[in-house]
Amino acid sequence: MPPPRTLFLRTSTLRIATRPIHYPALLRCYSNKTSPQSTPPPKTPATPAQDALPHVSEEAAATAGITGETKPELEQGTPIQEMINRSAEARKNAPSVLKTPSNKRSYSTEVTPIDAGAGLEAPANILSMSLEEPLPPGAKFPLPTLPIPARGHLQYRYSPLMVQVTNFLMRHGKKATAQSVMDHVLSILRTKPAPKQSITYTPLIPGTPPLSSLPSDPLLYLQTAIDSVAPLMKIISVKGAGGAKDMIPSPLNIRQRRRMALEWIVAAADKKKDRSGLAERFADEIIAVVEGRSAAWDKRNQVHRTAIQSRANVVVDGRRQSKKNTRRFPYN
Amino acid sequence: MVLLPLSLRCLGAPRLPLVLRPLPRVFPTSGAAASFTTSSTLLANPPKKANPQKGGNVKNLKAIAAKQRASSNKFQHKRKKRDIPERKRQYLDGQRKIIKNTIVLSNTNAPAITLPEMAKELAGNPETENTVFEIPGSVVDKLRHIEAFKTGQHWPYFQKPGTLVRKESTEIGAMINAVNEARLNKTELHERRILDGVKGSGRSILLAQAMAWAFQSDWVVISIPNSLDLVLGHTEYEYDTHWNVWVQKEYTAALLQRIHKANAPLLKNLKSTTPHRVGKTEKTFQTLLKLVDAGIEDSTVSHDIFMALIAELSMTDRPPVLFALDNLSLISRLSENRDTGFAKIHAHDLGIPNIFLSYLNGTKDFPRGLTIAATAPSPRTPDLTLALKGEKPGPWDKTDERIAPSIKGAKVVKCDPLRKEEVKTLMDWYTAGGIYKGAVTLETVAESYALSNGNPAELFKGCLRLKY
């Protein structure tokens, strides 16, 4: 069967809805996981229903539905370790991994809900940390941990989004000025009150953390705004038959999407009546985007509406296999 | 033959003499007349005239004229009707300066941290070194009034103002303790110090710490938060023949206002019996607060009042005084103020720097107190730099002879770079305050230490911004 002609039925686009929610703070690339000094994972979960594998209970519920037994509680999932402890039969049939105690944490942190203050307190053991590290024999300085992380390179030490926004704000090649504007923007985002949840529906990107926690991570704040308002495609108009113009939606890559979003945001910021400095205007517009007030949303909706209307114009090459989209927010 | 036309003219009507004849307005340009210059005539064609015999006709001309008139009327009409929206001004007068100088001491988004309070009992205790303290709420307002907090420091990022106590802090704290003891024993002790270091090394913060402890120990705190205001030529100044210095009355009135705000409860209880010269009269004020108020109300006598206040505080039974000045380098050179001969006035000839320096070099003394100054990173003041090192300038150097004696006898406190342990303490604090998001490990501490070179300001910037 040939693939569907419409772009919106592509598997890659359908995946967005079914993707589990990932809290971006956990995917931050600058947390040093391999370091020996990093804190060990806590032995007990903070909440009882932290397991990322809810299938056990769901499966048991389905079986119980067939056999007519009492279903397990589905509202609050039962951790597997508790189930094994409860039942002797389960203990017998359990895989050996679960029987032998291991130092691995017994739950997944993938869906750990984040509260604003979590992870900000200093762990206790660093207070007693010695600052002199024993060197390996023959080494003059401590050896680096390999592989060197992606942002460990001097030229690529900032987040790609940060670099793109800075370069977008730059005029006449004055990068240092653009960087100081960027600094100002981020410090405004850090110190202004947290954005309010909009009353109207604002399609913020899935994976957005609670809005109250955004000011504590200004770059994530910026990223949430830009990636949420970024259009998925642009409209190319081509001369069609009979002199008519055909609107053809064309997908954009992540950099192109962000650029479109930035153009709209800056245009909306420049239209504001009280003309303050660039940093203030831009930061205010970022807050407006997250709160759903920005004019950038109208532009995005317009592009998407046109794309849906003209979806029949898309020509899909059936022989080409598109790669599965494995990107998760926040992309880096 | 030649004389014939002349003779004929004599027979005609009398004419005006030649000299009174008006010059022709337009020189003839016909080919017959000689050109005034040898250069060619203008290349542009003369405007075309409608010639009825060459195609154009009068009717057409009239139509064109009517059209032009109509269009010009239309244009005028449009100009009248168009309402130009009055554009809102970007900033009002002085608004930018207010925004620029606003001190924000709290970020409500930052997580709350529990820190020990910077109590006066802890001043000078070596065990408190390398610990971050919170500035007590009662002192914060006073420090704000006296402008101890500066823009560009770390205050806007934390929920409550906190500060690291370092070796230099305990040194200053020990001095405050010593003066407090002298107060109990009714002996005299006046300490004089200059805080020196590179840009961002924490001199101004150290001044703020000294003021925090002094306020808690019930001292009178007089602070000149930025001596740039005095020497920039932006404040009013005039020569005072009584004090033989250039006085800045408006600035002094503002200074008295700050002194009032920060020290009012203390000054209220200090009685005064001595008459003071105020303008052309002599007056006695019941309390020192009333004395200060007189200077605030009438800025023309503010300098007299300020001098009277200093004289009162120099009496034996007065509480200790902290006399502080930030940016000493700026008053160790010529100011931008000009005298009547348009020569630059030396900063030492300005009223407030003059009296401050006389306390700094020990010409005058408080019975108990601390006079403390902090240097500035710029401008370059070679005379001051040499004087701080205790060196003499070279024989061919252009020197300012007044600088070295002005700080004579004041001891220098060097604000050294942070130690690695202090870097770690600060990074822990930044982590708790939500500034630094990475893990505090051996590598990250070493990295921040190396990148900042132990400079507190650079360390903060690095932790705040580097990992974006």
Determine the straight-line distance between the first and last CA of chain B, rounded to whole angstroms: 107
Which residue matches tokens 């009714």?
B186
| Measured distance CA(B162)–CA(B116) in Å, rounded | 9
B→A contacts (Cβ < 8 Å), by residue, are: 88, 90, 104, 107-111, 156-157, 420-421, 424, 428, 431-434, 437-446, 465-468
pLDDT value at B34 more than 80 = no
- pLDDT at site B53: 57
- pLDDT at site B48: 65
Lowest mean pLDDT among A39-48, A223-232, B372-381: A39-48
Domain boundaries of chain A, sorted by first residue: 1-29+157-332, 47-111
pLDDT value at A78 more than 90 = no
B428 contacts in A (CB within 8 Å)?
122, 126-127
Q: In angstroms, what CA-CA distances link B406 with A208, B310, B369, B409, B411?
A: 61, 19, 19, 9, 13
Residue pLDDT, tens place only, A4-60: 454 444 444 444 443 444 444 433 433 344 444 445 555 555 555 455 555 666 777
CA angle B215, B220, B225 (to 5 degrees): 80
Does A180 contact B at CB distance below 8 Å? no
Q: State whether B441 and A122 contact (CB < 8 Å).
A: no
A116 contacts in B (CB within 8 Å)?
111
| Measured distance CA(B136)–CA(B138) in Å, rounded | 6
Q: Which of B90, B156, B440 sits opposite A275 (nearest CB)?
A: B90
Average pLDDT (B253-282) is 95
Residue pLDDT, tens place only, B169-223: 999 999 999 999 999 999 999 999 999 999 999 999 999 999 999 999 999 999 9
Determine the distance in angstroms separating the CA of B431 from the nearest CA of chain A, rounded to an integer: 6
- pLDDT at site A249: 94
Q: Which of B108, B439, B466 sits opposite A31 (nearest CB)?
A: B439
- pLDDT at site A328: 72
pLDDT value at A115 more than 50 = no
A193 contacts in B (CB within 8 Å)?
108-109
| Measured distance CA(B331)–CA(B231) in Å, rounded | 7
Does A200 contact B at CB distance below 8 Å? no
Average pLDDT (B49-59) is 58
Average pLDDT (A162-179) is 96
| Measured distance CA(B465)–CA(A217) in Å, rounded | 11
Q: Which of A120, A157, A191 sits opposite B156 (nearest CB)?
A: A191
CA atoms within 13 A on the CB side of B47: 1
Lowest mean pLDDT among B13-27, B34-48, B431-445: B13-27
Domain boundaries of chain B, sorted by first residue: 104-392+399-414, 420-465
Q: State whether A131 and B107 contact (CB < 8 Å).
A: no
Candidates B109, B419, B429, B444: best to mutate against A (most CBs of A within 10 A) is: B109
Average pLDDT (A65-69) is 81
Size of interface A-B (CB pairs under 8 A): 87
Strand partners, B189: B368
Does this model's pTM top 0.80? My answer is: no
Lowest mean pLDDT among A48-57, B94-103, B251-260: A48-57
- pLDDT at site A144: 79
- pLDDT at site A12: 43
Residue pLDDT, tens place only, A172-201: 999 999 999 999 999 999 999 999 988 888
Residue pLDDT, tens place only, A247-300: 999 999 999 999 999 999 999 998 886 667 899 999 999 999 999 999 999 999
| Measured distance CA(B441)–CA(B66) in Å, rounded | 87
| CATH fit for domain A1-29+157-332, picks 1.20.120.1630, 1.10.455.10, 3.40.50.1370, 1.10.730.10 | 1.10.455.10
A187 contacts in B (CB within 8 Å)?
156-157
Tokens of A325: 């989209």
How much of chain A exceeds pLDDT 70, in percent?
A: 68
- pLDDT at site A30: 38
Average pLDDT (B145-168) is 95
| Measured distance CA(B278)–CA(B302) in Å, rounded | 9
Q: How many helices (H) does chain B have, and how many strands (E)?
A: 16, 13
The per-residue pLDDT of chain A, averaged, comes to 77
- pLDDT at site B129: 95
Give which of B327, B332, B360 is closest to B346, Cα–Cα: B332
Residues B457 and B200: beta-carbon distance below 8 Å: yes
- pLDDT at site B267: 96
- pLDDT at site B157: 95
3-state secondary structure B45-58: CCCCCCCHHHCCCH
How much of chain B exceeds pLDDT 70, in percent?
A: 82
A39 contacts in B (CB within 8 Å)?
439
- pLDDT at site B228: 95
Confidence of residue A63 (pLDDT cuts 50, 70, 90): confident
Average pLDDT (B369-393) is 94
- The identity of residue A260, as a single letter, is M
Determine the distance in angstroms separating the CA of B433 from the nearest CA of chain A, rounded to an integer: 7
Average pLDDT (A139-162) is 84
| Measured distance CA(A231)–CA(A205) in Å, rounded | 11
B438 contacts in A (CB within 8 Å)?
30-32
| B271 phi/psi in degrees, rounded to 5 | -80, 155
Interface predicted TM-score of the whole assembly (ipTM), two decimals: 0.75
Q: Which of A31, A133, A216 sits opposite B442 (nearest CB)?
A: A133
- pLDDT at site B365: 95
